Chain A
Amino acid sequence: MFDKNKIFQVFGLLAALVLVTALLAIGCAPKEEEPGGEITLATTTSTYDSGLLDYLNPIFKEKTGIEVKVVSMGTGQAIEHGKNGDADVLLVHDRKAELGLVEEGYFVDRVDVMYNDFIIVGPEADPCGLKEAGNALESLQKLTSGDAEFISRGDDSGTHRLELRLWEAAGVAPEGQEWYVSAGSGMGDTLRMAHEKEAYCITDRGTYVSLKKDLDLVIVFEGDPALFNQYGVMAVNPERHEHVKYDLAKKYIDFLTSDEGQELIAGFTKEGETLFFPGFGLEE
């Protein structure tokens, strides 16, 4: 009734496959740690996707032997990971929230490490007339004319949080308006959506510069101090999470804020433009 040999061949083969893959899987077991140790950095997509960390972290490793494992996500998610103790150090951009969380004891040693600025981009034709706006709030008010759509990140990222604060300051409630699109996506995807729909959006300069060769979008508003984008670095409070590698995290913070680290940040360019400026961008 059954051809035993064939069946044994099939199952023998399967067993061999299982064995081989199992052996491969054993190789998956967490590798031995780097001699200098390693830390997990939770950061935003804007710093990682720009390539800044791929440029800084190898230099840090060479100096200290510490390997930095980077996990990039929206600022909201990064902060949540930090609060849960799933990272050792954070590099994010929501100054107000960061200071509040330090106050609440989640994080320590917060320093302003670098800044750049947000810009409003839109189609060359500028149907809403943002190029004539005198300040950021005025430019947002012009969007309410509805002559073109506005694409919001809608993902609780640092950029999205800034956008919401600006709308509030401008006295506009954009949610639910016909021209307001909440994308729920990262910066690159949001820019591409604005490009496809010939719409406006707020972006950090770094991501725009990195992607602009593929986008029919121009800068329609820039330069208002309200659009400053401050990045801060902070360590997870070791008193809250005993397992975090506070000493190594502190070394990373010291490296970023040292003269050398600051010069390295200033020297990082893409398409000939500086993406991040060292230090602190706003007077208190």
Chain B
Amino acid sequence: MPRLLEGILEAFTLIIRLDPELIKIVFLSLRVSGAAIIISTLLGFPLGTWLGLKPEKKTALVNKVIYTLMGLPPVVAGLVIYMLLSRMGLLGVLGLLYTPVAMIIAQVTLALPIVTGLTMVGVRSRGKEVEETARSLGAGPLLSAWTVVRESRISLLGAVVTGFGRVIAEVGAVMMVGGNIEGHTRVMTTAIVLETRKGNFEYAIGLGLILLSLSFVINAFLYRVQRGGEVHL
């Protein structure tokens, strides 16, 4: 217990000191995972909506593939992306290994199936009904799809929150393709692994608490949005 308490104290000290190294790490984490979730959302929303509006029988195989990929171990995603981006790999000439871009690519492979899968489920639960109503009121296919998206927004936000939670907390993929390089590709989770390895448990716990607090703030915000959209700008 005393060590845990020391960890909590360490977390506060780090925050109060505004440790520049820490700030760099936190911002990189947010940028990488933020970019990954945005890309996943831009691709996963339309794809999930489209799949959700199709009859379930027609997409049975795709469903199974997406559900399987939702459980893809991060280190496997990292390994695959490493093998693609390595100088010996197909995309090696781009020289992207050990850059934040590589980390974003790896995290998209983790978040995209989640956003797509949960969107699909959300749309499927009410979508058909809403779509038929919209159609009967004379809406075209695009407008009725948009209506479905609007009506399913709660589950869509849930998809984004879940996807973000997965990538911000993930360590295996960013470690593989980012390399945990100080000042370049070190994010919160890889820093926690490093500090644990070095035996700096207090510092590692401190970082863990900061990560949790950030997640809490982000989720609290998204939760408010999700509660029927009562947001006042």
Among A21, A84, A188, the residue within 8 A (CB) of B34 is A21
Whether A257 is near chain B, meaning CB under 8 Å from some CB there, is no
Residue B61 CB within 8 A of the other chain: no
The complex places the Cα of A70 from the Cα of B41 at a distance, in Å, of 33
A10 close to B99 (CB less than 8 A): no
Residues of A with C-beta under 8 A to B99: 30
Please give me the residue from chain A that is nearest to B151 by CB atom: A2
Q: Is the CB of A10 within 8 A of B181?
A: no
Interface membership of B229, Cβ < 8 A: yes
Q: Does A24 contact B (CB under 8 A)?
A: yes
Task: Please tell me the size bucket of the interface on B.
Answer: 35 or more
For B171-208 the 0/1 string (1 means CB < 8 A from A) is 00000000111101000000000101111010000000
Whether A10 pairs with B153 at a CB distance below 8 angstroms is: yes
Q: Decide yes or no: A49 and B181 within 8 Å by CB, A22-B35, A25-B38, A27-B31 being known contacts.
A: no
Chain A, interface SS category: helix
Contact B233 A13 (CB under 8 A): yes
Residue of A nearest to B34 (CB): A21
Which of A9, A27, A84, A214 is in CB contact (< 8 Å) with B199?
Answer: A214
B23 → chain A closest CB, angstroms? 14
A127 on the interface (CB 8 Å rule)? no
Chain B residues with CB under 8 Å of A86's CB are 86-87, 97-98
Contacts of B100 in A (CB 8 A): 28, 30
Contact across chains for A13 and B225 when beta carbons are under 8 A apart: yes
Q: Which residues 6-25 in A have Cβ within 8 Å of B in the complex?
A: 6-7, 9-10, 12-14, 18, 21-22, 24-25
- The reply to whether A188 and B198 contact each other, CB–CB distance below 8 Å, is yes
The answer to whether B98 touches A243, judged by C-beta atoms less than 8 angstroms apart, is: no
Interface residues of B in 87-113 (CB under 8 A from A): 87-88, 92, 95, 97-101, 104
Q: Does B16 reach chain A (CB closer than 8 Å)?
A: no
Q: Mark B98-135, 1 if CB is under 8 A from A, else 0.
A: 11110010000000000000000000000000000000
Q: How far is the CA of A9 from the CA of B229 in the complex (A)?
A: 7
Contact of B228 among A6, A54, A84 (CB under 8 A): A6
Is B38 touching A21 in the complex (CB atoms < 8 A)? Answer: yes
Which A residues lie within 8 Å of B181 (CB)?
40, 69-71
Give chain A nearest CB distance to B157 CB in angstroms: 8
Contact B38 A7 (CB under 8 A): no
B217 on the interface (CB 8 Å rule)? Answer: no
A273 part of interface (Cβ distance < 8 Å): no
- Separation in Å of the A252 CB from the closest CB of chain B? 15
Docked complex Cα distance between A25 and B101 (Å): 9
Minimum CB distance partner of A187 in chain B:
B197
- Closest chain-B Cβ to A126's Cβ sits at a distance in Å of 24
The proximity string for A residues 166-205 relative to B, scoring 1 for CB distances below 8 Å and 0 otherwise, is 0000000000000000000010110000000000000000
Taking CB atoms, residues of chain A closer than 8 Å to B198 are: 49, 188, 210
* Min C-beta distance of A32 to chain B, whole Å: 13
Task: Tell me if B179 and A25 are in contact (CB < 8 A).
Answer: no
Q: What separation, in Å, do the CA atoms of A24 and B95 have in the docked complex?
A: 22
A45 to B181, CA, bound (A): 13
Nearest B residue to A13 via CB reads: B231
CB contact list, B11-31 vs A, under 8 A? 27-28, 30-31
Q: A21-B38, A69-B98 are in contact. List 12 more A-B contacts (CB 8 A).
A: A13-B225, A22-B38, A24-B34, A25-B38, A28-B104, A30-B101, A86-B86, A86-B87, A210-B198, A210-B199, A214-B201, A243-B87
6 contacts between A and B (CB under 8 A): A10-B231, A14-B225, A18-B41, A24-B27, A28-B31, A70-B182
